[in-house]
């Protein structure tokens, strides 16, 4: 596929392989936000970073690391896919604020303040009571702003998300979720949150994970693009992008780690339903990275012009990183 249009996916967590990196190239993907960790502690996070360093070495012809927005264009010019790393929880910093700057220098570009549960920083979207941002959380937000690490509230509860937006001096993102008004999954975001994200200069990455979609795996491309159009009206075209939440070739054990970590002996089924016990059936129009052209075609069919599609598919992500993740500060 021609790589004329910049394509950035704001969230994937796949069972990484050369085949997947080749599929990224085939689908015209220029950069991907790859989840580094979920519940790993600091030492385990270093090992995950080491694994990525080995991938960059072994597949140097296909991928390269992204530490700042400008690296995406460098990767594009080199004919490679840029990979920028993020944490889906704050567990890598443990209870030590100094870890924020250290991990940023090592390549952690984005960090969620929570993953579903209450954390040391904020409240997750599955807790009964939302306590908001904690004392430690306020300090971590300030430090993330200082060193240029992006604050991601994808799995956080409403009050905590709004608190984070108010406290942060840099834009806040929701890298992978959809509007709650369109589909009331617990992880999807209210219009109030989406408007606040936009007002902060932040970004929403639309998820293609079936549990976040109306009609689940049977959600049509037309319906998905209708959702994008309605959200563009709410947030503004410059504040939306793609964050597919693609989890390709992963075993069920990985799903269990995502949901359970070390905190539960019982399977956490996400929405509290047995139907969410395993990986969902993939969408017919988005099975892997080779299907990004389907999404571009769907947006054209919906009536977006090329400038708007270019923003949604990638340029907004680059501009967000320029605003929220400047080169690391010591």
Q: Is residue 1 part of a domain?
A: no
**Angstrom distance (rounded) from CA 299 to CA 171:** 26
pLDDT tens by residue, 214-225: 999 999 999 999
- Token pair recorded at residue 185: 């999954």
pLDDT tens by residue, 63-74: 999 999 999 999
Q: Is residue 67 part of a domain?
A: yes
- Token pair recorded at residue 229: 């159009």
Q: Is residue 2 part of a domain?
A: no
**Angstrom distance (rounded) from CA 228 to CA 204:** 10
- Token pair recorded at residue 224: 């998905």
Do 213 and 222 meet the contact criterion of CB atoms below 8 Å apart?
no
Q: Is residue 272 part of a domain?
A: yes
Query: Domain containing 112: what range?
Result: 8-324
pLDDT computed for residue 273 by the predictor: 43
**Total structural domains within the chain:** 1
Do 205 and 242 meet the contact criterion of CB atoms below 8 Å apart?
yes
pLDDT computed for residue 2 by the predictor: 43
pTM over 0.85: yes
State the virtual CA torsion across 173, 179, 183, 184 in degrees, nearest 10.
70
Q: How far is CA 136 from the centre of its chain?
A: 23
Q: Is residue 329 part of a domain?
A: no
pLDDT computed for residue 278 by the predictor: 81
pLDDT computed for residue 150 by the predictor: 98
pLDDT computed for residue 328 by the predictor: 64
Q: Check which CATH number belongs to the domain holding 153 and give it.
A: 3.20.20.140
Strand, helix or coil for residue 280? coil
Q: Is residue 171 part of a domain?
A: yes
pLDDT computed for residue 274 by the predictor: 41
Do 262 and 39 meet the contact criterion of CB atoms below 8 Å apart?
yes
Q: Is residue 330 part of a domain?
A: no
Residues of the chain with pLDDT under 70: 1-3, 268-277, 328-330
Do 244 and 207 meet the contact criterion of CB atoms below 8 Å apart?
yes
For the chain, give the percent of residues with pLDDT over 70.
95
pLDDT tens by residue, 128-185: 999 999 999 999 999 999 999 999 999 999 999 999 999 999 999 999 999 999 999 9
């Amino acid at each position: 596929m021609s790589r004329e249009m910049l394509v950035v996916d704001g969230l994937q967590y796949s069972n990484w392989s050369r085949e997947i990196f080749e599929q990224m190239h085939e689908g015209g993907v220029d950069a991907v936000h790859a989840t580094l960790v979920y519940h790993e502690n600091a030492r385990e996070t270093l090992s995950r970073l080491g694994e990525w360093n080995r991938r960059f070495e072994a597949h140097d012809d296909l991928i390269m690391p992204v530490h700042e927005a400008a690296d995406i264009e460098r990767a594009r010019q080199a004919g490679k896919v840029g990979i920028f790393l993020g944490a889906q929880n704050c567990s890598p910093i443990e209870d030590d604020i100094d870890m924020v700057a250290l991990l940023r220098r090592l390549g952690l570009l984005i960090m969620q303040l929570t993953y579903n549960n209450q954390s040391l920083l904020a409240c997750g979207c599955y807790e009964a009571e939302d306590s908001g941002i904690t004392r430690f959380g306020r300090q971590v937000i300030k430090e993330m702003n200082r060193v240029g690490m992006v604050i991601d509230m994808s799995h956080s509860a409403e009050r905590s998300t709004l608190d984070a937006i108010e406290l942060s001096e840099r834009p806040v993102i929701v890298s992978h979720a959809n509007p709650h008004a369109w589909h009331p999954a617990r992880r999807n975001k209210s219009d109030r949150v989406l408007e606040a994200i936009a007002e902060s200069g932040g970004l929403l990455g639309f998820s293609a994970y079936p549990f976040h979609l109306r009609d689940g795996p049977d959600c049509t491309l037309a319906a998905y693009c209708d959702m994008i159009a309605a959200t563009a009206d709410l947030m503004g075209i410059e504040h939306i992008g793609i964050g597919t939440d693609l989890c390709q070739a992963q075993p069920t054990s990985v799903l269990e780690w995502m949901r359970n970590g070390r905190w539960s002996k019982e399977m956490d089924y996400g929405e509290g339903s047995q139907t969410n016990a395993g990986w969902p059936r993939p969408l017919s129009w988005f099975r892997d990275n080779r299907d990004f052209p389907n999404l571009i075609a769907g947006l054209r069919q919906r009536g977006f012009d090329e400038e708007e599609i270019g923003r949604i598919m990638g340029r907004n992500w680059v501009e967000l990183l320029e605003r929220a993740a400047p080169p690391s500060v010591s």
